[in-house]
Amino acid sequence: TERLRLDWRRWATPGTEHKVRFHGGVKAEQLPEDDHSVSLLMSQFCFEYTDTDTVLREINRVLFTHGAAIGMIIHNKASRIVAMAEDDLSFLTDAMAENGLLAATKAMMAFAAMASTPEGKAALKDNPEAEAARAAFNAAQGALAEKIQASDSPQAMANLGRACHTTVVAAAQVGLEQASQQFDELTHLYQDEIQRLKELIACAWNEEQLNQFISTLEQLGFAEVQTGLIHNQDYLMGWSLSARR
């Protein structure tokens, strides 16, 4: 929040900073504003993640009955953002599977830790389990390299590949216990990322949903409802919407 305040003050008209308040931990479904006390509501890739019917009632409650405006940027199901999310979700789901990259990484860690000592290296010699784990890990990384080469948005793949390699190296350098903690953190991180991607894909709007929202706004007294498609270079990125009443 402090960083956001600093950014706001940088761009605010001098002398207006005291008028800005930040409400942390607030649900959109329960806005902490008095009835008809707000002139402008803005949302960037946010509204569609909420309980939209409830939030719209709250928006209607807090906005002025006359002289209010809404400005929104909304995820579009046909956008580049959603397409990338679908690609990343497919890749991460495969990576998290029982025979995926993370499983191969975890199996490799124990043998990498053994290889940190002369005794461990001797024990690994002609060890079929160690050879199988190494072959599986190398095969998973090789398959990943092919996917990266074929993808036009390979960042998530490359990041995970580096992270898995780093975790195996850590097992050899700092021991299995510390590397296992690092691996658990990595697993939780990507479990959260999978959940985020699923929500993004599920919450993005198609044209029918946008039109339904426009109809509801008009029923609430909003006029001059304008929508458009937001592009970045040749890529569709989302919907834009503005309305006044």
Question: Is the pLDDT reported for residue 2 higher than 50?
Answer: no
Q: What is the pLDDT of residues 77-126, one digit of tens each?
A: 999 999 999 999 999 999 999 999 999 999 999 999 998 888 888 888 88
Cα–Cα distance list, 115 to 78, 109, 112, 125, 131 (Å): 49, 10, 5, 10, 13
Question: Is the pLDDT reported for residue 8 higher than 70?
Answer: no
Range 162-168, long-range pairs (CB < 8 A, 24+ positions) = 164/101, 164/102, 164/104, 164/105, 165/141, 167/105, 167/109, 168/105, 168/108, 168/109, 168/112, 168/137
Region 145-160 average pLDDT: 91
Q: Which residues are paired to 227 by β-bridges?
A: 241
Region 158-170 average pLDDT: 95
Q: Identify residue 91 by its one-letter amino acid code.
A: F
Query: What's the pLDDT at 1?
Result: 39
Question: Is the pLDDT reported for residue 5 higher than 50?
Answer: no
Query: What's the pLDDT at 11?
Result: 65
Query: What's the pLDDT at 118?
Result: 86
Question: Is the pLDDT reported for residue 165 higher than 60?
Answer: yes
Is residue 69 within 8 Å of residue 242, measured between CB atoms? yes
Q: What is the pLDDT of residues 199-225, one digit of tens each?
A: 999 999 999 999 999 999 999 999 889
Q: What is the pLDDT of residues 180-192, one digit of tens each?
A: 999 999 999 999 9
Q: How confident is the model at residue 239 (pLDDT cuts 50, 70, 90)?
A: very high
Region 143-169 average pLDDT: 93
Is residue 44 within 8 Å of residue 28, measured between CB atoms? no
Is residue 78 within 8 Å of residue 138, measured between CB atoms? no
